[in-house]
Amino acid sequence: MNYFVRLVLLTTAVASLNACVPDGPPETPVAGRWYTVEQVARGEVPFQQYCATCHGNAGQGTADWRKTDANGHYPPPPLNGTAHTWHHSTEVLQRTIANGGVPLGGAMPAFGAVIDDDEALDVIAYFQGLWTDDIYARWLSIESR
């Protein structure tokens, strides 16, 4: 069997496999954003469970987030769009959630063991839901670069 035929067979097999897995009811897009209303709601649960202790239950972070502590670490910044979070692409945000800040000399713990990449997307949708349209547009220009 040549490579092309194999590829076609494989693609067909994957497509029919996918057809067996129900996607669930259609989700409701949030106007002008990449995520859905359902993702925001799903993301709020792990956010409140794992992130709110440091970043605040409305993503407000630490008031003095620009000032390092005695160990040279920055306190948890706001994730609500008033700090730097919009400077990071989705990929970087997912990596931050999975690996934390320790590998980069920071203090944030890693969450890869309890939040997978899909759940991280929901968490990102949740805190981006706290951003103004202006901040979101600035993030989008970084994301689509």
Chain residues binding ligand HEC by CB under 6 A are 50-51, 53-55, 73-77, 79, 83-85, 88, 93, 96-97, 101, 106-109, 111, 115, 123
Closest CB to ligand HEC among residues 18, 71: 71
How many angstroms from the chain centroid is the CA of residue 141?
A: 17
Q: How many CB atoms lie within 10 A of CB 8?
A: 11
- Closest contact distance (angstroms) between CB of 38 and ligand HEC is 18
- Closest contact distance (angstroms) between CB of 55 and ligand HEC is 5
Residue that is written with structure tokens 């649960």 in the block: 45
- Closest contact distance (angstroms) between CB of 63 and ligand HEC is 14
Contacts of 138 (CB under 8 A, 6+ apart): 86
